[in-house]
Structure formats: structure tokens, C-alpha cells
Amino acid sequence: MPTPGMGGATAAGAPSNPSGPQMPAPLQDTLLDKLSGNWAANGTAGDHPLMERVFADWVLHHQFLRLYTRESTGRYESELYIGYDPASDRYVAHMLDVLGGRASETLGFGLRTGDQLQIVFDRPTLSVRHTLNWSTKESSWQYQIEVKDHSSNWHTVSTKTMKKLSGGGGGRSGRGHPDDGDQRPAR
């Protein structure tokens, strides 16, 4: 389980330090640490092949792991921010994508079981579940996205396998972003 630092806020939410809010200790999470880096994702979305680049890095004082994803066609891209809320003992996620503000208005909440992290976004009209499974044997991630129908049954929208890329250049972020062209799966 993660070991996040505790913030310096009082019960009323006011900073306990008059000079400003106290910075929490960086979030330490061994499973999310495995997700950090550059990845090639291959799978399916419905009946169509799916190829994506994924770049994951720690941001905002190591409180959130950001996953930037871009389809090879360039038609879809997203940023998923995953953090941890020690007060509720669960993960919290913010999803931003090319679909705009309406699709990003709902927070996701998640739980970890072993090497699996499952995050659910319960939107007013649609529930979406993201499941990430780490395979130590394969050194890869299985990433599945599902939606819930009106009968409360889950249906798979996409599945992909993420394999770590070796090398990589600076990209727009200077840290090996998916915009980099010459990246190969690590061996």
C-alpha cells in the first residue's frame, strides 16, 4: 500500500502554517513506480487494432503519477492523473482527454489488490472502469477499459498490453515523451 505524507491542514481546511500550506511527503507506491516510464501499448478497441504510446511520470511534488497516452493515429490523446487519498484509503484519479470538459467532470476512485489497480469513474450517464494489471513474469502491464450497461453488466471497450520502451530522447517534455520517434521495446 502507498505511504503518502500527511498535509498540514487543520480540520477547517486552513493551513496550519501561517506562511502557507505544508507540503506533504512524496507519495511512495511500489506499483505506481512500476508504471513510470515510456511504454508501447498494443491491443484492440472494439474490433479495431489499437497502437498507442504511453508516457508516465511523477508530477506535482510526487503526489500524482501522470499517464499521457496518444493513439498512433493522433486522433485520441489523454492524461490520467493517479494519486492516493489517505483519509479515504483509496486512489483518486483525474482523467482529461480530447472529449472535453463534460467527460472529465467526474473523479475516479480506485483500490489496489496485489499487482492490480482498478479505478472507476461513476459519471452521471456512464460508469467507466480502468483496470491495470502488472505482470512480473512478462514485465508488462495489461490495461483494460470497460463500461457498465443499464443492467449493471460490464463490457470491454479496449484491452492493451503495455511493454516498456528502451532509450528515448527528450521529446517535448525533455523526459522521453511519446512524441519521440525512435523508441523500441526494452528486451
Domain contains 42: yes
> What per-residue confidence (pLDDT) applies to 187?
39
Question: 102 versus 65: which is more confidently predicted?
Answer: 65
Domain contains 6: no
Domain contains 76: yes
Domain that holds residue 153: 31-175
> What per-residue confidence (pLDDT) applies to 167?
61
The strand pairing partners of 52, in sequence order, are: 41, 71
Q: What is the CATH number of the domain that holds 73?
A: 2.40.128.20
> What per-residue confidence (pLDDT) applies to 183?
44
Outline where DSSP puts E strands in 21-123.
37-45, 48-59, 64-71, 77-85, 90-97, 108-113, 116-122
> What per-residue confidence (pLDDT) applies to 10?
29
Domain count, the chain: 1
Domain contains 2: no
pLDDT tens per residue across span 44-98: 999 999 999 999 999 999 999 999 999 998 889 999 999 999 999 999 999 998 8
Domain contains 102: yes
> What per-residue confidence (pLDDT) applies to 13?
43
Report the amino acid identity of residue 39.
W
- Model confidence at 106, pLDDT cuts 50, 70, 90, reads confident
Domain contains 19: no
> What per-residue confidence (pLDDT) applies to 99?
80
Domain contains 169: yes
pLDDT tens per residue across span 123-147: 888 899 999 999 999 999 999 999 9
- Model confidence at 3, pLDDT cuts 50, 70, 90, reads low
pLDDT tens per residue across span 9-26: 323 344 455 677 888 889
Cα distances (Å, whole numbers) of residue 158 to 13, 69, 143, 148, 183: 40, 14, 8, 13, 23
Domain contains 114: yes
Q: Dig out the grid coordinates for 176 from the structure.
A: 522521453
Mean pLDDT calculated for residue range 153-171: 82
> What per-residue confidence (pLDDT) applies to 125?
83
Global confidence as pTM: 0.79
Mean pLDDT calculated for residue range 153-167: 93
